[in-house]
Amino acid sequence: MIRKNTSGDISDEEFEQVLKPFLDDYDNFVLSYIMPEVIAYYIANSYYRGSMYEGSFLQHYNSAKDLINLFGEDYEQMKAEVFKLLKIKYALIVVNEDPLDLKQIEY
């Protein structure tokens, strides 16, 4: 479901009932699945490539965490991967990019 864009702010009630549960789920997903994998990969890859400098776990943790703010990525490649994941993992097809419109795949 895609909500219609409004010209004004959303109400506190709509935030609490609609947006907050979504944002909480998103944060939990990133913290539970994405960040541990990213941080472990960062540490392992820098170690095996001989590019890890002496420092505490906390320093390496923070370095990996800071780098997750993507910049300089190949947008078209990332978009293709996201579209593929939406289809394979979430049963959604992108019908239109702007404004974003999705269609659920019926299996």
pTM higher than 0.75: no
pLDDT score at 43: 93
pLDDT digits (tens, 9 = 90+) for 54-93: 999 999 989 999 988 867 778 899 899 999 999 999 999 9
DSSP for 35-91 reads HHHHHHHHHHHHHHTT-PPS--HHHHHHHHHHHTS--S--HHHHHHHHHHHHHHHH-
- Bridge partners (DSSP) of residue 96 are 101
SS3 103: strand
Supply angle C-alpha 50, 53, 54, rounded to 5: 125
